[in-house]
Structure 1
Amino acid sequence: MDLALLRTFVTVHRAGSFTRAAALLGLSQPAVTSQIRSLERQLGRPLFLRRARGVTPTTVGDELAHKVAPHLDALTEITEAGVDDESAARTLHLAGSPEFTSERVLPALTPLIARGLSVRAAFGPADDLLNGLAAGHHDLAVTTTRPRGDLLAATPLCDEEHVLIAAPCWAARLGGPAVLQVTGLRALDQVPLVEVHESLPLVTRYWSAVFDCAPEASATVVAADLRGVLACVVAGAGLAVLPRYLCARALDSGEVVALLDPPVPPLRTYFLVVRTGTLALPHIARPHEWLLRSAVNW
């Protein structure tokens, strides 16, 4: 049986779509369709059911994928893992949120960059990053969204603690954490909200976890980058919910104050996401492993 046909089959099985598989393989969609039909003729059984959006594997297709995918991945590791230095020097196409990637991920990769790794970083919303990864535009994505299906593989990287902060002038006016533990939302309603989006994603998550309700106020200031949110809070524009890694220096210096200290702070998990099977490639595997090691100290 032709290994090229099996490789195309496994890619379609993982992608759930001839179109996405074609993008990953660098083939045209008709070529992928032709290869799958050829394999189905050889086996005498259908492997996929065509749907309005993508394809669904038949029982035979699932069974074949279960049998051959591990062996194809092992062959990929042998043939592409690289016994030469050239493979280790390939460019890593990295994707993530602008703040976390800039503050955590890229600095952590500096030792590998010093050893010859080239990096191209792209920023954007989690859904766009995962779609780009699935289409082959990125090699590694760092995202708070865990993908579904077999095409993408996710590994937990670290948890991000969220902190409710404001400038010292607002903290003094509110009476500090001890008073806020009692007055709670009534006092916080007096303070303007600074957020990264009109939908209040960070404030809503914090309010739900700590106060068991949704915020009633709308944002006074919306800055599309969390670093802009922090700058506004430092300047006294209002309160915000930010990841601790981003505001740690401002907290230590006293530029901002944590308004509350809940016993169980809200957390959000980051994942390292790759296309299934690509950790056989050194220019992806090494940064992946390096980031997992680095995150222990985050």
Structure 2
Amino acid sequence: MDLALLRTFVAVHRAGSLTRAAALLGLSQPAVIAQIRALERQLGRPLFLRQARGVTPTSIGDELAHRAAPHLDALMEITQSGLDDNGSPRTLHLNGPPEFVSERALPALTALAGRDRMALRASFGHADEALEGLAAGHYDLVISTARPRGALLTATALCDEEHVLVAGARWAARIPPGTLRSKGPRAAKDLPVVEVHESLPLVSRYWAEVFDSLPTASAAVIVPDLRAVLSSVIAGAGLAVLPRYLCATALERGEVVALLDPPVPPLRTYFLVVRTGTLALPHIGRAHEWLLRSALDWD
């Protein structure tokens, strides 16, 4: 079986689109279509179903991708690094939430990179986009709060983060101690909200798990980075739900106040996600193991 055809097939399977696969491979879309058809003729079975938007693999296509992709990735690693390794560093392409990557992952991986002469390239993105980019081969390792489905990607639980409902001292003074526990979210209905998105994902999740209700307030400040959310809360913009690791120092300094200490605080799990089979590649496997070990020391 022609490895070039397999490489094109895996790229289409990961990208879910002939157009995106063509851009990833540096080929024209007709060339990609021709290669997929050639592979289908060799196998005697269709590998994809054309849809209005992109392509969907058949059951045979899925099986072939899951069996071939890890081996193809390993062959590509050999080709890219060379059998006579000249000692040049391998590059790890990482994607994940901006604050978690900045505050947790990069400090840990920088220590590994200095020891193993590994280059790092980090980018930030939404979970769905990051996992799609990982499947398409744009990233080697993704940190995600969403566990992917299917066998093409492999997820390992990395750590849990505790969420805390906080506000600046001025706003916190409007809610006497114990009021939220006794009256529930009504006690905070007049406080403005600071969030990362108009849908209030963190506040809504906290309200659902702690109060068994949905928030009624709209956001006063929207900023897509939890570090900026914290800065806004410190400046007096309102209340927010933040990971404890991110606001621990501000809590100790009294810059923000925890409005409630529920018996079971809401938790969110982070996952390390790779393309299945790529942990056999040394630079990805080492980074994966290093992050898991580092997470044991994270509060």
Shorter-chain-normalised TM-score: which range? 0.7 to 0.9
Contact kept in structure 1, 2:11 and 2:136, CA below 8 Å: no
Deviation string, structure 1 residues 62-110 (Cα, Å, up to 9, x no partner): 5545655565566567766876655771222222222111111111112
Residues in 1 aligned to 2:20 and 2:210: alpha-carbon distance in whole angstroms: 41
1:258 aligns with 2:258: yes
Task: Note the C-alpha offset of 1:230.
Answer: 1.2
1:223-234 alignment runs, 5 A limit: 223-234=223-234
Question: Which stretch of structure 1 is more off in the superposition, 179-188 or 129-138?
Answer: 129-138
Task: Note the C-alpha offset of 1:52.
Answer: 2.6
TM-score by length of 2: 0.84
Q: Report the secondary structure of 2:197's partner residue.
A: coil
Deviation string, structure 1 residues 210-262 (Cα, Å, up to 9, x no partner): 11111111122333322222123223332211111110111223322211111
Unmatched tracts of structure 2, length 5 or more: none
Residues in 1 aligned to 2:21 and 2:152: alpha-carbon distance in whole angstroms: 10
Match of 2:202 in 1: 202
Contact kept in structure 1, 2:99 and 2:227, CA below 8 Å: yes
Unmatched tracts of structure 1, length 5 or more: none
Count of aligned residue pairs for this structure pair: 297
1:130-169 alignment runs, 5 A limit: 130-169=131-170
Match of 1:126 in 2: 127
Residues in 2 aligned to 1:194 and 1:45: alpha-carbon distance in whole angstroms: 53
Residues in 2 aligned to 1:135 and 1:11: alpha-carbon distance in whole angstroms: 6
Task: Note the C-alpha offset of 1:121.
Answer: 1.8
Question: Which stretch of structure 1 is more off in the superposition, 4-13 or 29-38?
Answer: 4-13
Question: Which stretch of structure 1 is more off in the superposition, 33-42 or 242-251?
Answer: 33-42
Residues in 1 aligned to 2:28 and 2:51: alpha-carbon distance in whole angstroms: 19
Match of 2:269 in 1: 269
Contact kept in structure 1, 2:8 and 2:35, CA below 8 Å: yes
Contact kept in structure 2, 1:20 and 1:134, CA below 8 Å: no
Task: Note the C-alpha offset of 1:51.
Answer: 2.8
Contact kept in structure 1, 2:8 and 2:21, CA below 8 Å: yes
Change (3 A) 1:238 1:72: closer
Residues in 2 aligned to 1:94 and 1:73: alpha-carbon distance in whole angstroms: 17
Q: Report the secondary structure of 1:129's partner residue.
A: helix
1:288 aligns with 2:285: no
Change (3 A) 1:12 1:264: same
Partner AA of 1:4 in structure 2 = A
Residues in 2 aligned to 1:79 and 1:126: alpha-carbon distance in whole angstroms: 30
Partner AA of 1:233 in structure 2 = V
Task: Note the C-alpha offset of 1:264.
Answer: 2.0
Residues in 2 aligned to 1:249 and 1:82: alpha-carbon distance in whole angstroms: 47
Q: Report the secondary structure of 1:198's partner residue.
A: coil
Residues in 2 aligned to 1:284 and 1:252: alpha-carbon distance in whole angstroms: 37
Change (3 A) 1:85 1:252: farther
Residues in 1 aligned to 2:58 and 2:285: alpha-carbon distance in whole angstroms: 32
Match of 1:52 in 2: 52
Match of 2:103 in 1: 103
TM-score by length of 1: 0.84
Deviation string, structure 1 residues 176-211 (Cα, Å, up to 9, x no partner): 2x3321022222123222222332221111111111
Change (3 A) 1:19 1:284: farther
Match of 2:244 in 1: 244
Residues in 1 aligned to 2:45 and 2:136: alpha-carbon distance in whole angstroms: 28
* Root mean square deviation, CA, Å: 2.9
Task: Note the C-alpha offset of 1:39.
Answer: 2.4
Deviation string, structure 1 residues 141-184 (Cα, Å, up to 9, x no partner): 222233344544333222221100123444344222x3321022
Q: Report the secondary structure of 1:49's partner residue.
A: strand
Task: Note the C-alpha offset of 1:287.
Answer: 1.4
Residues in 2 aligned to 1:261 and 1:279: alpha-carbon distance in whole angstroms: 40
Match of 1:4 in 2: 4
Change (3 A) 1:246 1:39: same
Residues in 1 aligned to 2:66 and 2:126: alpha-carbon distance in whole angstroms: 33
Contact kept in structure 1, 2:141 and 2:284, CA below 8 Å: yes
Residues in 1 aligned to 2:95 and 2:67: alpha-carbon distance in whole angstroms: 32
Task: Note the C-alpha offset of 1:283.
Answer: 2.6
Residues in 1 aligned to 2:198 and 2:72: alpha-carbon distance in whole angstroms: 46
Residues in 2 aligned to 1:281 and 1:88: alpha-carbon distance in whole angstroms: 15
Task: Note the C-alpha offset of 1:290.
Answer: 1.2
Question: Which stretch of structure 1 is more off in the superposition, 191-200 or 259-268?
Answer: 191-200
